[in-house]
Amino acid sequence: MDALGFKFILFMITALVVIVSSILMATRKNPIHSALWMIVTFFAMAVIYLLLNAQFIAVAQVMVYAGAIMMLILFVIMMVNMDKGDEKDTTKAPWSFGKKMAAALLMVILLVELLFGALFYRMTARVGDYPADAVAAAGNAKTVGALLYGQYLFPFEVASILLLIGIVGAVVIAKRNK
């Protein structure tokens, strides 16, 4: 491989796909188009997780986000949006251009702060016990499992309560009572 490295080039291409598709997601007028661009973003993020040696999370990303959550969002868009124009079917005046620009400027300041932190703040932490090649030798999902069902046992059991609350809450809200 050349000086830059195959992984690096792949990362750059995927990062570009993520940024472009997420910008398209945030700006499309039709919410269905937004949702489809969101799926592209999630797939590209899964590729980045693969490049960062997180195979199990990449698969979970495709299965949970791109598969299940986006399906649910598309269902709900089909349920609530009878017409395409979502921004204009309101009696109130839409945001003025200046107001939108002010909001965007606020976020650009946030972005600059984040970039400053990411580039100039040197992170320090104790180096962990799971170097990438050792994890790859043991199996990525297996290592996650060993942590999840050992050290993180209590959060795992609490997650089941959270899922139970999710089921009950959604059914209570959405079920038509006769």
Partner 1 sequence: MIEYIPILVLLCFAILIAVLIVGASHLLGHRISRKAKLSTYECGMQTIGPTRMKMNIRYYIIAMLFLIFDIEIMFLYPWALVTGGLKMFGFVEMLIFVAVLFVGYLYVWKKGALEWE
Partner 2 sequence: MFQEIPSGLCLVLSGIIFSIGAIGAITRRNVIVIFMCIELMLNAVNLAFIASGNAFSSMDGAVFVFFIMTVAAVEAAVGLAIFVMVFRLQGTVNADEVNLLKG
Among 85, 94, 139, 155, binds partner 1 (CB under 8 A): 139
Q: Is 72 in the site for partner 2 (CB under 8 A)?
A: yes
- Residues 6+ away with beta carbon under 8 Å from 127: none
- Least CB distance to partner 2 at residue 9 (A): 10
The one of partner 1, partner 2, none whose footprint includes residue 46, by CB under 5 to 8 A per kind, is: none
Between 51 and 70, how does the x/- string for binding to partner 1 read (CB under 8 A)? x----x---x--xx--xxx-
Q: Is 155 in the site for partner 1 (CB under 8 A)?
A: no
- Length of the chain in terms of residues written: 178
DSSP state of 68: I
Tokens of 123: 């992170």
Among 17, 40, 43, 104, binds partner 2 (CB under 8 A): 104
d(CA 24, CA 5): 29
Q: Is 155 in the site for partner 2 (CB under 8 A)?
A: yes
Between 38 and 67, how does the x/- string for binding to partner 2 read (CB under 8 A)? x--xx--x--xx-xxxx-xx--xx--xx--
Among 96, 98, 119, 154, binds partner 2 (CB under 8 A): 119
The two most distant CA atoms of the chain are separated, in Å, by: 68
d(CA 156, CA 172): 25
Tell me whether residue 151 is exposed, middle or buried, using C-beta atoms within 10 angstroms of its C-beta: 0 to 12, 13 to 18, 19 or more: exposed
